[in-house]
């Protein structure tokens, strides 16, 4: 694998995604085998946005592979005080072996990758969330086996999760349907790029405003919060706009009988998902949460072991 960074799933081939999944599966089954895989390596973790799962999974992952993770909030580093990203990337590259960044602006991560000489991993931006989407498809692969020809339905805001799920679907051979309220559709640029990937892979991308159309015969049903971090001022309006968009038992009944439910967490029971769904046997949310550790370990191993 020749990639220096992991910014978007779109940048990786289907074979490369499968390779990461195979490594993640092996790591999950054979933790001791990789205990010195990144011995002596250090990962800088830049957090403009706080997170339970991202911080813990990356930090624990580095520890389990014999490395060290360094937490850097926007208060701890000069990026948050006006230092050019160019300088920060160059300086950090002299100290650490990899950089994970969880930021607001997508440009922050792409500029870090451009100027850093060490691998840069996109831990989340306002545009995309590739670590979570990779994890979700890995989790679906664990539960459903071969994903070719299967269908994932995403219900809710056309946000960074929707974008990364769209990029990932074609890489694993799945069809994807995105259902959003009329004014919350995904970014047109992402739709176009995802459609190009789907045309190449022979898969299908559907963008709709109908929950029923999206979920019918789905193998995976997924949703996300209606107001993401940084959108708190819009929360009241979004509550109105998303009225009737809860994934409940009726919605799940439209999917296949053995369909699984996913949510990247944190979740708001009674808003985007009913408690009867997220706490049901169909829900795999805790497997999903655990698998962030294994998938991210595999990605760090692929990028940082060189």
Q: What DSSP designation does 224 have?
A: -
Spatial distance between the Cα atoms of 66 and 79, rounded to a whole number of angstroms: 28
Q: How many Å apart are CA 191 and CA 166, to the nearest integer? A: 8
Asked if residue 175 lies in contact with residue 206, where contact means CB atoms within 8 angstroms, the answer is: yes
Helix (H, G, I), strand (E, B) or coil at 126: coil
116's tokens:
């850093």
Set 10, 53, 106, 292: catalytic member: 292
10, 106, 129, 150: the catalytic one is 129
Report the C-alpha gap between 220 and 110 in whole angstroms: 31
> How many alpha carbons fall within 13 Å on the CB side of residue 180?
19
Catalytic residue among 10, 102, 106, 150: 102
The 3-state DSSP class for residue 265 equals: coil
Q: Is 81 a catalytic residue?
A: no
The yes-or-no answer on residue 129 being catalytic is yes
Q: How far, in Å, CA of 249 to CA of 179, rounded?
A: 17
Q: Known catalytic residue: 102?
A: yes
Which residues lie across from 180 on neighbouring strands? Answer: none
Interacting residues of 32 by C-beta distance below 8 A, sequence separation 6+:
none
Residue 282 annotated to the active site: no
User: Per-residue DSSP letters for 48-85?
Assistant: SS--HHHHHHHHHHHHHTT-EEEEEETTTSGGGGT--H
For this structure, is 193 an active site residue?
no
| Rounded Cα distance, 61 and 65, in Å | 6
Q: Are 250 and 215 in contact (CB under 8 A)?
A: no
Neighbours of 189 (CB within 10 A): 10
Q: Which of 224, 238, 263, 296 is catalytic?
A: 224
In sequence order, what are the residues at sequence separation of 6 or more whose Cβ sits closer than 8 angstroms to the Cβ of residue 109? Answer: 7, 101, 103, 120, 122, 125
269 is catalytic: no
Active site residues: 102, 129, 132, 224, 264, 292
């Amino acid at each position: 694998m020749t990639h220096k960074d992991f910014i978007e799933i779109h940048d990786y081939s289907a074979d490369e995604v499968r390779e990461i999944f195979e490594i993640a599966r092996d790591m999950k089954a054979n933790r001791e085998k990789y205990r010195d895989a990144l011995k002596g390596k250090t990962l800088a973790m830049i957090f403009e946005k706080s997170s339970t799962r991202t911080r813990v999974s990356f930090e624990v992952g580095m520890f389990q592979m014999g490395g060290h993770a360094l937490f850097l909030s926007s208060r701890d580093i000069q990026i948050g005080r006006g230092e050019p990203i160019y300088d920060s990337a160059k300086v950090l590259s002299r100290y650490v072996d990899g950089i994970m960044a969880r930021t607001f602006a997508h440009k922050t991560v792409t500029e870090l990758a451009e100027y850093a000489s060490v691998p840069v991993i996109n831990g989340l931006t306002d545009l995309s969330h590739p670590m979570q989407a990779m994890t979700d498809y890995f989790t679906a692969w664990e539960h459903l086996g071969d994903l070719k020809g299967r269908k994932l339905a995403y219900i809710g805001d056309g946000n960074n999760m929707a974008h990364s799920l769209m990029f990932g679907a074609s890489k694993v051979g799945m069809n994807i349907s995105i259902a959003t309220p009329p004014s919350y559709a995904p970014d047109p640029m992402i739709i176009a790029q995802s459609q190009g990937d789907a045309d190449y892979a022979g898969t299908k991308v559907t963008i709709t405003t109908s929950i029923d159309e999206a979920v019918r015969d789905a193998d995976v049903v997924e949703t996300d919060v209606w107001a993401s971090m940084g959108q708190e001022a819009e929360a009241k309006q979004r509550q109105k706009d998303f009225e009737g968009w809860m994934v409940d038992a009726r919605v799940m009944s439209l999917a296949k009988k053995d369909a699984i439910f996913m949510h990247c967490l944190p979740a708001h029971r009674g808003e985007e998902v009913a408690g009867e769904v997220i706490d049901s046997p169909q829900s795999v949310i805790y497997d999903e949460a655990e698998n962030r550790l294994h998938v991210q370990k595999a990605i760090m191993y692929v990028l940082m072991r060189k």
